[in-house]
Each structure stands twice: as C-alpha cells, then as structure tokens.
Amino acid sequence: MTSLQNWKPVPFPPAKVLEGRYCRLEPLDVGRHLDDIWAATTGHDQIWDWLPAAPPKSKDEYRALLESMVAKAGIVPLAVIDKADGKAKGHLWIMEIRPEQGVFEVGWITYSPALQRTRVATEAIYLVGDYGFSLGYRRYEWKCNNLNEPSKRAALRFGFQYEGLFRQHMVVKGANRDTAWFSIIDSEWPARARAFQAWLAPDNFDAQGQQKASLTDLAKVQS
C-alpha cells in the first residue's frame, strides 16, 4: 500500500464546466436551466421514487428546489446538458465531499426519461469521476437505497465495487432506508476510465445507435 505519510488534503472541487463528447455538465444555474429541466421531467413522477424529495407540482416548486441546491454548502450541483440539442435534461450532485480524506460521491442523480439508458447518462458519471480523481481524490462513492435494484445494477455496470450494507442508515419519506455502498478507488480508476472511454467511442455503436460491446465486457478487457 502506498505510504500516506505526506498526504495532504485535496482542494474542494471548484464548480466548473465538465465537457464530454455527448454531454456537458454545467454548474447548476436556475435561471438558465430550469425551463429545460422542467420540460424534460414534468409528467414523469417516477423519476422521484428513490430521491429524498417529492415530485415538484409546479415550475415554481422546482425552482425553489433547485435554488436550495445552489445555496447548499458542501456540494457541487451540476446540470446535465445533452449536446445533441444543447438542452438541460437532468441534474446531479458531487457530494459527500471530504477533501481531508480524498473522498467524493456522485448522487442526487435526477435523469429525465430522455437521458435514461443513453450515452449521455453514462458519460456524466465518467466526467464526475475523472474530475474528482484529476484533483487528487482517492475514493469515488456511489450509495443508494438497497431496494433500488436499477441503481445497484448501474453502480456495478459503471465499475463501482459493492462494499456492503448500512442497515437502518436513514429515514427517507417516512420509511427506513438500508443503504448499499459502492466505490471506485484511485488505483482502479485508470482501468475504469479506459473502459468508459472505449464504450463511449463512436465506433462502439452501430448505425442504429446500439452498442457493440458492453461497458461490463470492456471493463474486463481493461482490468
């Protein structure tokens, strides 16, 4: 194991644009992003099933929610921009940021149906990881309700390693939440990053936009 005798806290991640091939993550700006996000998410209440908030009933409610995110200390909220049309179609947080320990998490992932199961959705997770590790962070976390099977499958697909279950970890919407924990550590990231890059490459998709090789299979090649 690498000695940490000279370890020093890393910087808190400055809010900045993270540019990808298919998406762009922008620091959340309510005035600029609300209309597009509201248009992409309204009528799709299932998006909120596993989030610690109820579906906004109006654009004004959504505005208040996004404003609370922007005002919240200790997180970096980002809008997910689909570069195909330049519209914001979701948002996420860099959160649980502990510079003194070199730990960060991607969470509060709020993807409209237009983002789900797309290259944009995958690239956003890659961009957050690549940003954190580029700053010297040591550990990239993913946590979710243990009942949220799609989120657990996504974590494994993205290359996060399952670490265990925190029982009765939280009370969310009046119900118990047992939390499943996953992580990628810095020594694993180069191989994970190569797998992401190979999967996101245009030549990994056929004329109909279907993948030729899965991210899981590419990760096995890169390990």
pLDDT digits (tens, 9 = 90+) for 53-70: 999 999 999 999 999 999
Closest CA to 109 of 50, 161, 158, 166: 50
Closest CA to 94 of 109, 80, 111, 106: 106
pLDDT at residue 17, rounded to an integer: 98
Closest CA to 209 of 84, 110, 88: 84
d(CA 26, CA 22): 13
pLDDT at residue 222, rounded to an integer: 78
The architecture of the domain spanning 18-203 is: 3-Layer(aba) Sandwich (3.40)
- Specify the DSSP class assigned to residue 202: G
pLDDT at residue 176, rounded to an integer: 97
pLDDT at residue 50, rounded to an integer: 97
pLDDT at residue 217, rounded to an integer: 93
Q: Return the bridge partners of 104, or none.
A: 140
Residue with tokens 């996101």: 200
pLDDT at residue 159, rounded to an integer: 97
**Continuous segment of H or E residues that includes residue 176:** strand 175-185
- Specify the DSSP class assigned to residue 21: S
pLDDT at residue 145, rounded to an integer: 98
pLDDT at residue 2, rounded to an integer: 73
Contact 81, 26 (CB under 8 A): yes
> Helix 215-222 crosses helix 149-157 at what angle (to 10 degrees)?
40
Q: Which residues of the chain have pLDDT under 70?
A: 1, 223
d(CA 158, CA 151): 10
Count CB atoms within 10 A of the CB of residue 104. 27
